[in-house]
Amino acid sequence: MNLVEADQIASLPGLSVGAWALDRVSIRLSIEMLNRLRKEEAQVHIGARPWSGPESSFECGEFLGKTRIDFLEPDGHVRIGRCGTLNTTIACYRGVEVSIGDRTTINGARFSVMNSRVVLGEDCMLGDSIIFQPNDQHAIYDLENLDRVNTKTDIILGDRVWVGLGAFLLAGAEIGEGSIIGAGSIVTGSIPPFSVAAGVPARVVRSNVSWSRNPSAPDSGTHRMRERFKTLQSKTKD
């Protein structure tokens, strides 16, 4: 990864960095991503508020599309692997880790993250108007004993997860590899691997399935998930 200095930004027309972000956010990009930005095949905006505290960071392998990342408080860290098309916005508050795995595609998700992690595995596919919010940003207390009620944080997606249009993923969502989340679902807990989950809240409606990016035939990812499924089945039998 190559550290991007302030004097390099003018040579990268696909990259815009807000004035407050220049000395608050470390930017490291692969050679492939630098070339994408030079050709404007990808567009990235990085913004920040005038906070003081630990430095934030952005590291990116490669993608096509348009992404905006705002570091609104210190100590936010975003890592994007070598992905396909990403169209997304990420708002980072204090103490944040966002990681997007290789070959993942996003068609319009929004992340609002504070004091928590969002981890997307490899080869995931996210539709439009999806919201990731792993922290309520305000505390809720039990008035009997003043114990905090909303203590869950983090959202974790395994490899090869497909999230449908308009889904809402909240703190504590953990989706197993190969699974599918139906359009408009609200996910607040664990979904096992190789499942279809849908509804409010999302519940498993079918098991022992996975999906394909090709609408007419299994693709390489489908075959890979089938092998993983068979391996897990054999371990369970043993």
Total Cβ atoms within 10 A of residue 145: 6
CA-closest candidate to residue 46, choices 1, 81, 76: 76
Nearest-angstrom CA–CA distance, 46 and 59: 12
pLDDT at 152: 77
Q: What is the CATH number of the domain that holds 83?
A: 2.160.10.10
Cβ–Cβ under 8 Å, residues 92 and 98: yes
CA-closest candidate to residue 167, choices 207, 196, 137: 196
Average pLDDT value for residue range 139-146 = 93
Least confident of 5-9, 99-103, 128-132, 156-160: 5-9
Average pLDDT value for residue range 189-211 = 97
pLDDT at 105: 98
Considering the entire predicted model, what is its pTM? 0.93
Domain assignment of residue 195, given as a range: 2-237
pLDDT at 153: 85
Question: What is the average pLDDT score of the chain?
Answer: 95
Average pLDDT value for residue range 44-54 = 94
Give the 3-state secondary structure of residue 148. Answer: strand
Average pLDDT value for residue range 61-85 = 97
Per-residue confidence band for 149, with pLDDT thresholds at 50, 70 and 90: confident
Average pLDDT value for residue range 110-131 = 97
The token duo for 174 is 């953990």
Per-residue confidence band for 238, with pLDDT thresholds at 50, 70 and 90: low
Average pLDDT value for residue range 86-92 = 97
pLDDT over threshold 90, residue 163: yes
pLDDT over threshold 70, residue 18: yes
Percentage of the chain surpassing pLDDT 70? 99
Q: For residue 99, what are the CA distances in angstroms to 46, 157, 197?
A: 16, 10, 23
pLDDT over threshold 70, residue 1: yes
Per-residue confidence band for 30, with pLDDT thresholds at 50, 70 and 90: very high
Average pLDDT value for residue range 20-47 = 97
Per-residue confidence band for 60, with pLDDT thresholds at 50, 70 and 90: very high
Average pLDDT value for residue range 35-42 = 97
Give the 3-state secondary structure of residue 224. Answer: helix
pLDDT over threshold 70, residue 27: yes
pLDDT over threshold 80, residue 169: yes
Look at the chain and report how many structural domains it folds into.
Answer: 1
